[in-house]
Each structure stands twice: as structure tokens, then as C-alpha cells.
Structure 1
Amino acid sequence: MTTPFIGEIQVFGFNFAPRGWAFCSGSLVPIQQYSAVFSLLGVNYGGNGTTNFQLPNFTNRAGCNQGQGPGLTRRTIGETFGENSETLTVAEMPAHMHQFTIYNQSDAAKKAASPSAGNSLTSPTNTSVFVSGAQANTQFIPTMIGFTGGNQPHENRQPYLALNYCIAMAGAFPAFG
């Protein structure tokens, strides 16, 4: 392997950081011990900038290029954004209705145990348990089907594979070009 640039980030498929590298897990490191790395990263990822600075944190995160693509929000180096889960509110869902219609097939010849054209799959013998005095093919009131869910967040991440992102703490100082 060639000599890495200080501050270079690599992905490794094993469970340890190689010699001269550190995990990109948001660790606070002392400026005095890693002044070359600090001169490149500064406090873009955190730290107080006087005695320590923070390494990038890829734990539960995906990388994103800095800048702005067409129609996208501008992103700056070190910025974190996004959510691991999302709880949708009624205001965030598109407006829609849930209607429910019951059909009562009174012709016994058209009643069947499996779906087929013109036949009923089920046959309520007494529609009064649904709606008192209902006529055949009557739509139920709109409030019959109400809100559902437990106001719990759902998973909001793309599929991923756990790997170790590491940053070179030693190596060649990159030249500005």
C-alpha cells in the first residue's frame, strides 16, 4: 500500500483501524498530538479548537459531497443532516379518503365461496349490524374508517452494509494545488 495522505479517509472491511489510522467515529483527539491532522480538518467536525478537535463521524451515516447540486440544498464540509427514522404526521400525508361500501347480494344463486364476475364473496344476512335500515350498495359515513398507527417512527435509511471508515493520522501532508 502506498503512503496515505494525512486526513485521507478509507473504507476497511476488517474490524480494526490499521497502524497510523483512526476510526471515523467522532472521537475527540488532542491538537498537540495530531497538529498536522488538525491543520487540515480544523473544527469542521467538532471540538473546541484550542486543545482538541473531533474526527469525522460515519457511525450511522453515509458520506455526501460538499457543495450544491441542481435543485439540492447547499452542503458544507462537516455538516450533518438527515434522520434515521421519521414519524409522519397527518399534515405530511397527501390528502386522501378511505371509503367503504357494503354490497348485499340477496340473490342466493349469485353467492359464491370464491371471487367470480357478478358473484359476492361474502353475504351478510343481516345488514342491520352494519347500518340500521341500510339499502343495498349504500356507502358508509366517511368517519367509519378513522386514523390508524401508533405515532411511532419508521425506519428511514437505505439498505446498508457495515464497514469501517478510517482516517489517516500519519502519512504525507497533502499539497494544495
Structure 2
Amino acid sequence: MDNFLGEIRMFAGSYAPQNWHYCDGSTLQISQYEALFTLLGTTYGGNGQTTFGLPDLRGRAPVHKGTGTGLAPVVLGQMGGSETATLTAANLPPHAHVLTAVNAPAATNTPTTNSMLSTTTPVAYVTNTSTPPAPLPTPVAMYGASIGYSGANLPVSIVQPSMAIGFIIALTGIFPPQN
């Protein structure tokens, strides 16, 4: 079976066969691979005078160049994506927390399991700095940690399930004709 020059294949072996090279971003000499340079140019690296680069598919999934329906354009050689993502509050859907309270006199000033907030007689804002709680003349802001965001803001892996296999590029072969 003949191959085209610059053709990329998946290969399950532990080495690149003769006249093939791993797609590992290596820099090659133009003088040794002029025909391949004619196809690739400096799309994948190199200085274009004496060297050119091979595609680097290590840890990457190849995608077709162009613009898919509803997708951003992708140009030949463009890298994209990330192995992790950090979610922020802007990534979360809006939500609310219910504060359960009753409009009746408190039965105790000691919090217990399944207890609710209630009013004192007369209605006042209280803090737990004294026992029993003392009325405050003005409203008091809740402690930020009790109503703020939680979590460590650490990145999470978004790598798809995968298996490593070699991608190889043909260093020699039939020069592909244009349509």
C-alpha cells in the first residue's frame, strides 16, 4: 500500500517505522526533506530558512481544519483546548438559599438541631455575643463565610477517556496531487 508524503497515521508499535516520524513537534532540516517542507512549510514550527517543524500530537486529539456548524474557525496548525478548567461563580446557575424563620417569640436562646430563627419580644436584631442575646439598635450583616461561596476554586480535569497511541507522519511517499 502506497502512502502520500505528509500522510498521518495512527501506529500501535513502540517505534516509528522507516521513512515515518512521530508527530512529536520535532524540527527537521529542509535540505533533508524538501518535498515534505513544500507541503508543511512553517505551519508547525521551524524558521523556514533551514528548518521546519512536524505536527505535535502528543496529548492532543486532531480536529479537522475549517469551520463546523456553530463552531469557531480552526486553521491548520492551530492548537486549542485545555486539560483542566476552573469553575467560578459566573459558571454556576443562579440559585437561592431559603432562610426559615417564624414570627413568634423565641422559646430559647440556645440553638438546637432543627431549630428556626424567631423574633424576640419586641422584635430586635440579635447577635450571640451575650447570653441571653442582647437587642441591637441597627441591622447587622451576616458573617460572609456563612453566606459566601464555598469550595477551593481548584481546576478539575476535563480530559476525555483515552488511550495513548502513536501518530506517525510519512517522510517519503507519493507527492499528493491537488484537485
TM-score class normalised by the smaller sequence:
0.7 to 0.9
C-alpha distance in 1, partners of 2:12/2:98?
A: 52
Please show how residues 11-90 of structure 1 align to structure 2 within 5 Å: 11-90=10-89
**Residues 68 and 129 of structure 1: is their aligned pair in 2 closer, same or farther, counting only changes over 3 Å?**
same
Give the aligned residue type for 2:160: Q
Match in the other structure for 2:148: 146
Match in the other structure for 2:123: none
Q: Does 1:164 align with 2:166?
A: yes
Give the aligned residue type for 1:163: I
> Contact 2:27/2:52 (CA < 8 Å) preserved in 1?
yes
Shift of 1:5: 0.9
TM-score when scaled to structure 1?
0.74
Gaps of 5+ in 1: 103-125, 136-140
**Residues 59 and 133 of structure 1: is their aligned pair in 2 closer, same or farther, counting only changes over 3 Å?**
closer
> Contact 1:85/1:154 (CA < 8 Å) preserved in 2?
yes
Match in the other structure for 1:7: 6
**Residues 150 and 24 of structure 1: is their aligned pair in 2 closer, same or farther, counting only changes over 3 Å?**
same
C-alpha distance in 1, partners of 2:171/2:164?
A: 22
Give the aligned residue type for 2:150: T
> Contact 1:128/1:134 (CA < 8 Å) preserved in 2?
no
Larger displacement relative to structure 2 (43-52 or 92-101):
92-101
Q: Decide which structure has greater strand share.
A: 2
C-alpha distance in 2, partners of 1:59/1:69?
A: 24
> Contact 1:86/1:155 (CA < 8 Å) preserved in 2?
yes
C-alpha distance in 2, partners of 1:142/1:98?
A: 15
Q: Deviations over 1:80-103 (max 9, x none)?
A: 11111111122222222344769x
**Residues 99 and 58 of structure 1: is their aligned pair in 2 closer, same or farther, counting only changes over 3 Å?**
farther
C-alpha distance in 2, partners of 1:79/1:98?
A: 44
Question: Share of identical aligned residues, percent?
Answer: 41
Shift of 1:131: 9.2
**Structure with larger Rg:** 2
TM-score when scaled to structure 2?
0.73
Q: Kindly report the root-mean-square deviation, in angstroms, between the aligned alpha carbons of the 2 structures.
A: 2.6
> Contact 1:21/1:169 (CA < 8 Å) preserved in 2?
yes
C-alpha distance in 1, partners of 2:100/2:52?
A: 64
Give the aligned residue type for 1:11: M
Aligned residues: 148
Gaps of 5+ in 2: 102-108, 119-141
Match in the other structure for 2:106: none
Larger displacement relative to structure 2 (26-35 or 141-150):
141-150
Give the secondary structure class of the aligned counterpart of 1:36: helix
Match in the other structure for 2:111: 128
